[in-house]
Structures are given as C-alpha cells and as structure tokens.
Structure 1
Amino acid sequence: MASGKKALVATVMAASVAGSPAMRPKAALADDYSDLLDVLRAKGSLTKHEYDTLLAKHVRHSAPAQTERASSGVSRGGSSGSGRIAAAGTRHRMVAHVGHGAGGDEYEPGIKFDPGAEDSGMRAESAAERAEASARSAEEAAKSLKGNDVVRVAKYVPGKGLTFMAGPININLSGFVNGFYTYNSPAGGQAVAGGVSTGSSGFDSSAVRNGLLPAGFVLKLSTVQRGMDISAVLGMYPGIDNAKNGAFNANTGGSPVGLGTAGIDLRQVYVTFGNKNIGTFKVGRDLALFGSDAILNDATLLSVGASGNNAAPGNTSLGRIGVGYVYADWIPQISYASPTIHGFQGTVGIFQPLDEFNFAGGDLSASSEHHSSPMVQGKVTYDFKVGEVQTRIWASFLIQHQQGLQSTLLNTDSRKGAIAEAGDIGTKVTYGPLEGVAYYYRGSGLGTTGLFFDGVGQNGRKRASEGYYVQGAYHVTKRLKLVGSYGVSNLYQAPGENSPTLVRRNQSEVGAVFYKLTDWLNLVGEYTHTSSAAHGPYKESDNTAAGGVILLF
C-alpha cells in the first residue's frame, strides 16, 4: 500500500514538473493539475498534507508563467503592473518553511506553508473553490456507479431487523435472544399420563434457560423479478442449554451434564413467490396454519409460561402449549395465500403428514407410520377497524388420514385407520392501551399438546379434544405492560375406552409484567400455576416463577 501511494505521489509530482513553464505545452491550462489533485483528495488517495504540498509546488512552478503573462498583458495595453502584483502576492503567500508538526494542527512533521495574513480572504475563497470542485468530482464519481454496485442501508425500524439493499436484492437480518432464571416448585400429587404439570416430581428446581422462544436468527433475501416478489428465508433457532437426543430432536428435554452443547433448531427453510395481485406461494418448512394465530398472539411467547421439564431444560419451555391450544408446529409445506381483499385473506396448503404419537406412554394410545396422502390445512383471516377498535378474526382447519394404526390391541394386519380433523376460531381486539385475545379449538383424532399426541386410543377409535384460552393486557405506560391469561386443554376418552391414568385436563393461570427498557431490550417477570388431572383420581400441580430478558431486533 505504501509503495503504491509513493508511486502515485511520484506520478503527480512528475506531472507538476511537466506543468512547469520549461516543459509544459503552452496550450495547457494552469488549473488542470489542481483539478486532478482535488479528485485524488476526494477519493482518499492523498492525505491533506500530501495534497497541500503538491498544490504548493504546482503554484510555485506556475508563478513565473503568471508573471510572464502579466508582463505580456501590460505590453499589450493591460493594467499597468497588476499582473506583477498578483504574481508577487502569490509568491509571497506560498513561501515555504520547515515546521515540526506542533500539537493541534492537522499536518505531519515536515513541510508547512505560511497562509499569508494579508490575503486570508483570497485563501478562503480558493479553499472554497477547491472544496466545491472536490464535491463535484465525488458526485460525478457516484453517478458513474451502477445501481448493482451500490450497497445501501434501509431506515431502521425497531423489531424489523436490519435491511441492506445490494442492487436489486434486499437482505434482512432479524432475530431475538432471551434468557430466564426459572424456579419451579411442585405442589404434589400423582403423575398424570400426558399431563404437562411437574407437580408429582417431588423436588424444587432452578434453571437458567430459554423461555417459550429459543434464540432466533432469521435471514431473508428478497427481490423482484419479472413482476414477481421472490424471497428465500433461513431461520436458525439455537437454545442456551445442553441438547439431548430424543424423539423431539432439539425440543427434547435437555442434558445438564458437563461438556454438553446447545441444540440448533433450523425451523425455517422456505421460498415464496407471487405478488399482491395473484397472491403468494410458499414452498419449504415454516409455521403451519392450524393454531398459528393462537401461539403468535400468546403473551407467553415472550416469557416462560408452563416450564415443562425445568430440572433438565431443553430449547424451550411450554408457554401455553397444551394448556389452551395445540402446538401449530413447523412443517414442510406447499401453500398458497390469496391477496388481501377488503381485509380478508385465505391460505391453504398441503403439508408433510405427521404420525399419531403415543405421548402418554404405557401403551395408552395407538401410533401410526404410514401416509398415502398429505395433511391439508387452511386458514381465513379478517382484519378491520371500527373507530378506535382494531380487530382480527381468524379460523383454520386441519385434516389428515392416519393409516396403519398400531397398539397392543391392534397389529399391522388390522389395517385400521382414522381421519383426524380439527378446527379453531379466535379473535384479538385492541383499543387504546387495552388488548384482549380469545381462542377456541376442537378436534377428533387431533390429540392434545402436540399435533396427534394421544389422538387415537388403543382400540383404534379417535379421541375428541377441545381447549381455549382468554388473555388480557393493559399498557400502563408506553413501556410497562401487565398481562393475565387463563387456558385449558381437554382430552376425552375414545368410545369403549377406560384409561383412568390418561390426562383429561391441563390448565394454567399466568400473570406477567413486561417492561420495555429500550427498543431492543425487554425485562420480564412472571408467575404461572399449572395443573393436570387424569380421567381417574390422579391430579398434580406446580408453581413457576421466572424473571429474565428478551432482546428483539
């Protein structure tokens, strides 16, 4: 780099010598060299010291020629002596002397120049002209760049991530990070198969863990090609606690043992294409439709809620999953969302079918592994405003054929199957500082907590399930918010079934305080009471207190 700059300065100095009266062609203009220096200075190729030094040398070389032209002007009848005076003044102002770079100035030790106190106005005018020339040069250089060669930064909006525009491509990076101290105290009882309470564990537990959300880093690339809005999304969701291999992968209960490592949940990998006129197609892995609005409007999404396995925490807590709604899940899909017309939008898609799963254990539920047809889901939303009241209403459905059901009462030769189906409806209302959410779902073969968890009994008959939650929030100030919610999930026995240890009801009450410390950082304090009851006499409950932070950018 240093040798390159020396070569550049040598070239410019050579140009200065060539510009002297002895070697310069008479047709050359005196300010061409100054313009060149301005351009190099604007581009950062010359330091201020190098710029001033080279400019001074150029002025000294040019002075004799100015005197000669001034004399010639007098001989032709010009103003007597004015040229000589101007030339002499220039020489006087640019007298060089050796300096030592005293503290406070902008020059390195070396050559310094006397500005000439008697002509500071002319020097200021010259500096202004040079600055204007440099600005013009920089503007012309910017105009010469093509759009694809420029990277710009969009205006930052809190919570919307950082967006860079590289030519025709928008690059958005958004995400969140959280951590909570969580103390869980079991209130006693007997274990309930398929319950979400830890009341029967018998031991208090402390954990430093994630809440319902792990951390998340979402990269989105979007552009417009041939009239279509096209995007690609990759969402990575790591936890902070040690991961443990199991049926739920990164969401399996953790492993609090030395030398462990955190789990990474790649929930989102998908592309979208379309526009506001024809709608949008999506292909890849993303949040499913049924139950999606229930979890996205759940206040415990930003906190802990039901803690689940707090003694060995995994990537996430439960929040209100299984105590008010069934988890929507992140599922491979091909879906289509219509344009929004007068507040209405419809979405429908085919999804990777999921197995019936014996979550309760003990051979209480049937399972399946075969699928000849995809799962189908759909959703309709309606957004509207009446006065100061903003409202969203949504409804969604799910249907899937479960084939080859197996249990202790069913074998592979029975070829027993079932059609699992479910529907939900919900609303969110906002009025000033008040927010309210109400949600209800019902299913047959749907199960509870997770999709198709304990949805079919041992005898191959479907179990009905339903649940709901209500939630209220009040913004005391722009930064302080209070939240309270109550939710229930019920699972009924299949016809002809008698399973007294199977969960009948999971429920929880949540109270939380959220304080927005900055645009990014939120402080959270929360209390949750969770209980589970079986179809027989078994019951258990627990209490959880949590406090921590969640950062969203």
Structure 2
Amino acid sequence: MKKIFLLGALAAAGTQSAQAVDIKAGDWTVNVGGIVNAYYTQVSCSGDAVGGLALAGKGLGCGGESNRTTIGNGLLPNGLVTSASSRQGDYDVKALIGIYNATATDSAIAANSGVDVRQAYFTFGNAEMGTVKLGRDNGIFGANPIFGDMTLIGSGAPVQATQRGRVTLGHIGAGYSYVGYYGQIAYSAPKSTSGIGFDAALVSPVSDTPIVAAATYSAKNSPQVQAQVTYAADGFKGWLGAKSQKFSSTTPGVNDFTMSAVELGLSYQAGAAGLLANFQGGKGLGVLSDADQGDVKAKNYFVQATYKPTEKLKLGLGYGISKNDDNTVGTGGLKSNANLTAGMYYSLTSAISLVGEVGQTRSKGFNGGEAKMNGVSVGGIIFF
C-alpha cells in the first residue's frame, strides 16, 4: 500500500503504510482511511515578556501559565479521508474529502464539534497532459519542509495555546511558514524522465489573520499565485518555489502591499541517513499565516538530520528559526522564534508509531528580551 499522505493530498507522514480500505464500485475505486493520534505534552516557560507572536512566551507557549500539561494532538490532527478514483476515457479522475478534528479541549462536557474540512477537491489528467486540480487543498509553497519534517508524526514545538482545540506547531513559525489550505485551481506538469517537475496554482486570496491584533488587510480581486520547480533523482530532491498576493489595507494610514516570497530547499536520503534543508524569505510571510504580521520582511531557516539504526527506530534532530528583518508595528516587537527538537520514532506495527520528543523554543524581541519554553512530548499515532 502507498504511504499515507495527510495534511496535503495525503503527503508522506512517516514510515507507516496506510491500511486504508479499497472498495470497488463499478468503474470507481473508493478508498477510506485516516489517522488518530494523542500526545502527552508538558511545557515550562521562563524569561522575559516578548511581544507579538512569541511562540516561547508564557501567553502562547504555556497558554498563560508558567507550566502546563495537555494530552492532545501533535502536529497532525485526527482525520478521516475518503477518496474515489476512476479511469474515464483518456483521463485519470479522482475526488478527495478530508475531515479533521482535535483531541484536546478546555472542557470535559462541551461538544467537541469543531470540524476542519481541510481538503475537498477533484483532479483529472493523464501522463501526457499532467494533472489539473480544482477545490480546497494545501498550498504548494512550504509543502516540502512541513511534510518532510520528522515532527509531522510527533509534536515539535508543543505550543499549548494551539494544541487545545487544534494542533501543536512542529516548526511552523520557527523554521518555516505554514503551508496553508486554500481554494485553488492547480496544475502539475507530467513527470519528466529527467526528474524535473513543475507545479503552479491560482489560489483564492486570503485576508490577514494576525491572532494577537486586529485584522489590517483584506483580499480583493487578485488571486494569490504559487509555483514550484522540482528535481528528483537517486534519493535527492531539490525545489525552488515562490508565492505572491496583493493585500489591500482596511486601516487608515496603512498602505497596501504585495506579499512576495521565495523558497529554496533540498532533501537527501542515503540508506539509513536523511538530510533536509530549507530556506524561505520575502515580504508578508507571517508567523502562523499569510501576512499575519503585515508588511514585514522575514527569513525562515530549517535543517534536519535523521538516522535509522534499526528498521523500526528512527532518530532525528531538527532546528528551525524564523527572523523578522523589520521592527514594525505588526511584529509587536518580535525579532525571532527558534525551535530545536530531538526525537525518537518507533514503528510498533506497520500502522502504529510511538514517539518521544524533547525540545526548546526561544523567542527574542528587538528590545533584547528573550523567552524560553522547554517541552517534552510522548505519545503515538495510528494510520489506517
């Protein structure tokens, strides 16, 4: 069976093989599968108060406390994914819907009814023309680092303010920007014998969602554009991508601006050892979502090394840092977020992985202040 690809057209989340059920119905093959996970996370926060989206600060990192515990999702939510595929005439056709939900909330009696339909799209194409996708799915920009991050099946930065009612952050905002989910019309070129690939998408424009402040911009008549060129051969993969969107100001005294960002990265797998490195830079990247800090230039760096001493056990170390170049109102004084995570990932069965991670997240302010969040995460995930 294929590796499960969740959080983006079922993107490879680890070493597990999906045990999804295939049902034949006439010309269609219906596939039902999903994921469930839970992690005990314990964090402690110390240091200075740092403004803005300081992931290591007491407000976000520890949910307003000095120490906090949650048993909830890791970087992946729980999910049920259903797809149907068929060969119709000259075209391969597929439709997919992914429905997701969180494990932990702040109530033992309130209905846990928050449903996140991240994916709902269909595709058509063939080996000659490539593939066209229409619907809602993850973006192209930022997909490689998050889906290649070892903490995708763990927790990474166990930020408590997001874990309750949603998920932890991995290296989101501390190494790479979130891949995002959008309405889109996308095209993937046919697979080349030379290993070169090309993907592009017109994406429904989004407004800023600054989390700790009021929204400043709106999306109007210009779509967001994302595109990427890739090369893959003999365990190596490299990519060069970009995205752009105009943000229109809704606040007097604040100018319109155009988000423009580039991404460059590579991964290499040589036997038991793996390496991933990624860079993102530009204007309007945001911490947790597009332009959530406004018209700010920023850079994201992420590196990771993994090694499998046995067939079932993988060890890894990942470090990421996101830096703001400009001390603007939108940053709230935040200069950088960084996270270092060490993890162990054990395949108990072909479907179940047990995970243990330790790490530290640091947030620095332009005023010289620094906040620290130490965290530990222990739990597991099942793919079915």
Q: TM-score, normalised by structure 1?
A: 0.63
Q: 2-side partners of 1:210 and 1:175: how far apart?
A: 14
| Per-residue deviation, 1:190 | 1.2
Contact 1:500 1:535 in 2 (8 A): no
Q: 1-side partners of 2:265 and 2:329: how far apart?
A: 33
The reply to whether residue 166 of structure 1 matches residue 25 of structure 2 is: yes
Among all aligned residue pairs of Structure 1 and Structure 2, give the percentage whose two residues are the same amino acid.
29
Residue 237 of structure 1 is matched in structure 2 by 100
Moved more, 525-534 or 443-452: 443-452
| Per-residue deviation, 1:403 | 1.6
Residue 252 of structure 1 is matched in structure 2 by none
Unaligned 5+ runs, structure 2: 1-15
Contact 1:212 1:300 in 2 (8 A): yes
Contact 2:243 2:261 in 1 (8 A): yes
Q: 2-side partners of 1:372 and 1:332: how far apart?
A: 14
Residue 56 of structure 2 is matched in structure 1 by 197
Q: Secondary structure at the match of 2:174?
A: coil
Q: 2-side partners of 1:165 and 1:258: how far apart?
A: 40
Task: Report the structure, 1 or 2, having the larger helix content.
Answer: 1
Q: 2-side partners of 1:500 and 1:522: how far apart?
A: 38
Residue 46 of structure 1 is matched in structure 2 by none
Q: 2-side partners of 1:161 and 1:376: how far apart?
A: 33
Q: Secondary structure at the match of 2:104?
A: strand
Residue 9 of structure 1 is matched in structure 2 by none
| Per-residue deviation, 1:188 | 3.1
Higher relative contact order (CA 8 A, sep 6+): 2
Q: Aligned in 2, Cα 1:267/1:370: closer, same or farther, shift over 3 Å? A: closer
Query: Aligned ranges for residues 213-224 of structure 1 at < 5 Å?
Result: 213-224=76-87
Query: Aligned ranges for residues 290-301 of structure 1 at < 5 Å?
Result: 290-301=141-152
The reply to whether residue 400 of structure 1 matches residue 233 of structure 2 is: no
The reply to whether residue 352 of structure 1 matches residue 352 of structure 2 is: no
| Per-residue deviation, 1:276 | 1.1
Q: 1-side partners of 2:132 and 2:318: how far apart?
A: 35
The reply to whether residue 482 of structure 1 matches residue 309 of structure 2 is: no
Q: 2-side partners of 1:164 and 1:498: how far apart?
A: 54
Q: TM-score, normalised by structure 2?
A: 0.90
Q: 2-side partners of 1:306 and 1:480: how far apart?
A: 21
After superposition, what is the alpha-carbon deviation per residue over 1:251-286, rounded to whole angstroms, capped at 9, x for unaligned? xxxx33533424221100001001111010000000
| Per-residue deviation, 1:372 | 1.5
| Per-residue deviation, 1:501 | 4.5
Contact 1:305 1:317 in 2 (8 A): yes
Query: Aligned ranges for residues 318-329 of structure 1 at < 5 Å?
Result: 318-329=169-180
Q: 1-side partners of 2:149 and 2:365: how far apart?
A: 26
Q: 2-side partners of 1:401 and 1:175: how far apart?
A: 36
Residue 114 of structure 1 is matched in structure 2 by none
Q: 2-side partners of 1:256 and 1:303: how far apart?
A: 24
Among candidates 256, 265, 273, match of residue 124 of structure 2: 273
Q: Secondary structure at the match of 2:144?
A: helix
Residue 7 of structure 2 is matched in structure 1 by none
Q: Aligned in 2, Cα 1:549/1:358: closer, same or farther, shift over 3 Å? A: closer
Contact 1:207 1:310 in 2 (8 A): no
Contact 1:239 1:262 in 2 (8 A): no
Residue 69 of structure 2 is matched in structure 1 by 206
| Per-residue deviation, 1:443 | 1.1
Q: 2-side partners of 1:373 and 1:499: how far apart?
A: 23
Count of aligned positions: 364
Root mean square deviation, CA, Å: 2.0
| Per-residue deviation, 1:289 | 0.6
The reply to whether residue 473 of structure 1 matches residue 306 of structure 2 is: yes
| Per-residue deviation, 1:343 | 1.1
Q: 2-side partners of 1:324 and 1:436: how far apart?
A: 15
Task: Report the structure, 1 or 2, having the larger strand content.
Answer: 2
| Per-residue deviation, 1:173 | 1.5
After superposition, what is the alpha-carbon deviation per residue over 1:458-480, rounded to whole angstroms, capped at 9, x for unaligned? xxxxx210011110110010001
Contact 2:49 2:57 in 1 (8 A): no
Q: Secondary structure at the match of 1:301?
A: helix
Q: 2-side partners of 1:267 and 1:434: how far apart?
A: 32
Structure having the higher Rg = 1
Q: 1-side partners of 2:178 and 2:162: how far apart?
A: 22
